[in-house]
Structure 1
Amino acid sequence: MQHSYYDFFAGGGMAGFGLGSDWRCLFANDIDAKKAASYRANHAEDALLLRDVAQVTLDDLPGSADLVWASFPCQDLSLAGNGAGLAGKRSGMFRPFWQLMRDLHADGRAPKMIALENVYGAITSNGGRDFATLAAAFSELGYRFGAVVVDAVHFLPQSRPRFFMVGVRGDLTIPDALVADGPGTLWHPPALVEGCRLLSQTAAGRWQWWNLPTPPARTIALSDLIEDQPTGVDWHSAAETQKLLGMMTDHNRAKVTAAQATGERIVGTIYRRTRADANGVKRQRAEVRFDQIAGCLRTPAGGSSRQTIMLVQGAHVRSRLLSSREAAALMGLPADYILPARYNDAYRLAGDGVAVPVVRHLAQSLFTPVLRANRLALVA
């Protein structure tokens, strides 16, 4: 049986790839024309509305969805943001989105489940009060809800922890196996446990500690995804690579030397960051890692946010930007996913997205079991 969903702030449609063919999209929206073009190119059978969520109405939402997925803007909740939180212009888009959830509820079309996705900083933003606001929103509509932090590194060679709050409509059965008696170390970090202390008594009464299974060991390494002949980017000149090496601290330069000493082909990644030196002077540094895990993909707001590849093989060291196809692979997108032609547009699409196998894990471990349990209850 096929399930249905709405995809708010849909971007390039990565959530849909994670949900898979058992799910049918009834509605999708985004405000970014370039991302919308990518969505349409890769989800030709789905209709996407290019419109600000504040301008979406009930009439735009067909039928009744089993799941609402919402990867609402993260900029004001990010640890690198301006601290505005849910009061900010971008992350504040949660409020008109949730008004639509209230409207669906009043219209007798409350979705069976609602899943929010955002950055880890959503837990601690505004002293944890933004987290409490999200919890209160679920509680006011009678949803039983909980949150998990899932790092894409369990599935892909990218360090990408993300916050997911999932609510189940109050009239539905939740299988006992999906709920734990308390927090678990894998999915409920200390910041999340601490954030629960700010919940109102009513919200705390509806809180669930979601019990997700441990995923199988990841079998793919960063080097498996790196192209020898990259698309859309060129290898740096020797002088450019030497400049990167010159920007490293002794600690990071020693990592390169150790990689050279192995004589093997070793792939690392570099981010440029501004750090204070021993005298307190801020300098741009190149920080490298060779643990076969990429740093978290970010949107290319500036040159420092683009991840650089460093390929070491004996004395030979090469460097270049991560290609857009490699960025897509690090998000779990299929090789035939149609990317924007411009590098920055493709990199931004990936950096703003949700990791496909993380969505798949949530669907298989939580969404589908809830729907199956309630379908069986109706049949019985």
Structure 2
Amino acid sequence: MKAIDLFAGAGGFSTGAAMAGVQVVWAANHWPAAVQVHANNHPGTMHACQDLEQADWTQVPGHDLLLASPACQGHTNARGKERPHHDAQRATAWAVVSAAECHQPEAFVVENVKEFAKWALYPAWCAAMHALGYALAPMVLDAADHGVAQHRRRLFIVGTRSKHPIDLRLEQHAHAPASSVIDFTAGRWRPIHHPRRSSATLQRIERARPRFGERFVAPYYGSGSGETGRSLDRPLGTITTLDRWAVIDGERMRMLSAGEARAAMGFPDTYQLPSRHKDAMHMLGNAVVPPVARDVINALRAAA
């Protein structure tokens, strides 16, 4: 089976496809740095760095499976205030329709945040896919159920050229604890009581100690994922595009490293990331979790 990967980013969908034995023949993204990371890790794939809303789909190799993760920033609740560019970000989903119309692959899998299904034009998007002959099976999946050390709930829409939506049988894996990806002997640690440490951070840590002891993780900003920290015996909360999770060890702390975030996303340890921490975290936070993609593709192939 051959696939293409739209809005490929750092390559989570492509990596999951490779885990499932699928050859990704073409991948594209608009960010040169992400295209380079993808090319470094998937050298056998043809790459394009372009705006996919302007793509000439006739130049894309033939394929059986279309994978796509269009921009989520215009949909997610984490985006904050609605901004003018969010309309443009939401519109990237129409590139998936154009690609499917041109090549009419046997199946597609689209990943996005859950709020994608609340988009005002989501019914129209689904209608367009139906008009192309696809039956749609949307499902919300948690990455933790696929064996990675992170709770990450995302919408996956599986489209097949069939009369009825496909029934996928997905095996639920045991949850992996946060402790499985954190190395307490590595990283740049700093004292918790630092002059520039915010009072909110200090309060969050102190509230967590009675429950979790000397070692735990805590959200570094905002209110989601628990104000009082999180036990190392359970998966992390969602890896975001910004440094989100602080690792606490007694009177010292540090942020989750890019390598630890890579492991929590389910990428192989050998997967090459940008040397700049900020870029690595941004790409990982936007990525599809490879083991989830693997399981969806395997279930799709089994049911076909």
Name the TM-score, length of structure 1 as normaliser: 0.72
Number of aligned residue pairs? 299
Query: 1 or 2 for the larger relative contact order (CA 8 Å, sep ≥6)?
Result: 2
Letter matched to residue 132 of structure 1: P
Pick one of 6, 9, 13 that aligns with 2:7.
9
Pick one of 71, 75, 78 that aligns with 2:76.
78
Residue 336 of structure 1: aligned partner: 270
Structure 2 CA distance, aligned partners of 1:84 and 1:111? 34
Structure 1 CA distance, aligned partners of 2:130 and 2:274? 40
Letter matched to residue 343 of structure 1: H
Letter matched to residue 31 of structure 1: H
Structure 1 CA distance, aligned partners of 2:274 and 2:298? 30
Pick one of 210, 228, 234 that aligns with 1:257.
210
Pick one of 227, 238, 256 that aligns with 1:296.
238
Alignment of 1:356 with 2:290, yes or no, is yes
Structure 1 CA distance, aligned partners of 2:195 and 2:137? 46
SS at match of 1:273: coil
Residue 130 of structure 1: aligned partner: 121
Aligned pairs for 1:313-324 (under 5 A) are 316-324=250-258
Give the conservation status (yes or no) of the 8 Å contact 1:308–1:319. Answer: no
Q: How far off is 1:241 after superposition?
A: 9.2
Pick one of 88, 105, 112 that aligns with 1:111.
105
RMSD after superposition: 2.7
Question: After superposition, what is the alpha-carbon deviation per residue over 1:73-99, rounded to whole angstroms, capped at 9, x for unaligned?
Answer: 000011123557997111211123322
SS at match of 1:123: helix
Residue 190 of structure 2: aligned partner: 236
Q: How far off is 1:234 after superposition?
A: 1.3
Name the CA shift for 1:248/1:122 in 2 (closer, same or farther; >3 Å). Answer: farther
Q: How far off is 1:240 after superposition?
A: 2.8
Letter matched to residue 37 of structure 2: S
Q: How far off is 1:271 after superposition?
A: 3.0
Q: How far off is 1:338 after superposition?
A: 0.7
Give the conservation status (yes or no) of the 8 Å contact 2:149–2:265. Answer: no
Question: After superposition, what is the alpha-carbon deviation per residue over 1:256-313, rounded to whole angstroms, capped at 9, x for unaligned?
Answer: 12323xxxx63323231169xxxxxxxxx9652225321211112xxxxx1232334x
Question: After superposition, what is the alpha-carbon deviation per residue over 1:112-167, rounded to whole angstroms, capped at 9, x for unaligned?
Answer: 00111100111223xxx333233212211111111000011112121110001111
Name the CA shift for 1:248/1:298 in 2 (closer, same or farther; >3 Å). Answer: same
Structure 1 CA distance, aligned partners of 2:67 and 2:195? 42
Give the conservation status (yes or no) of the 8 Å contact 2:7–2:70. Answer: yes
Q: How far off is 1:12 after superposition?
A: 1.3
Q: How far off is 1:226 after superposition?
A: 0.5
SS at match of 1:111: coil
Q: How far off is 1:4 after superposition?
A: 0.4
Q: How far off is 1:317 after superposition?
A: 3.0
Structure 1 CA distance, aligned partners of 2:84 and 2:222? 24
Aligned pairs for 1:12-51 (under 5 A) are 12-20=10-18, 22-51=21-50
Give the conservation status (yes or no) of the 8 Å contact 2:94–2:125. Answer: no
Give the conservation status (yes or no) of the 8 Å contact 2:58–2:102. Answer: no
Structure 1 CA distance, aligned partners of 2:274 and 2:282? 10
Residue 199 of structure 1: aligned partner: none
Give the conservation status (yes or no) of the 8 Å contact 1:85–1:91. Answer: no
Question: After superposition, what is the alpha-carbon deviation per residue over 1:307-355, rounded to whole angstroms, capped at 9, x for unaligned?
Answer: 232334xxx2321111000111111000111110000010011000011
Q: Which has the larger radius of gyration?
A: 1
Give the conservation status (yes or no) of the 8 Å contact 1:77–1:86. Answer: no
Pick one of 140, 160, 167 that aligns with 1:210.
167
Give the conservation status (yes or no) of the 8 Å contact 2:66–2:100. Answer: no
Question: After superposition, what is the alpha-carbon deviation per residue over 1:26-70, rounded to whole angstroms, capped at 9, x for unaligned?
Answer: 21100011111100110111111111102211332112x110000
Name the CA shift for 1:348/1:287 in 2 (closer, same or farther; >3 Å). Answer: farther
Structure 2 CA distance, aligned partners of 1:53 and 1:271? 35
Residue 181 of structure 1: aligned partner: none
Residue 56 of structure 2: aligned partner: 57
Residue 182 of structure 2: aligned partner: 226
Give the conservation status (yes or no) of the 8 Å contact 1:223–1:266. Answer: no
Structure 2 CA distance, aligned partners of 1:210 and 1:245? 50
Relative to structure 2, which stretch is displaced further, 54-63 or 4-13? 54-63
SS at match of 2:28: strand
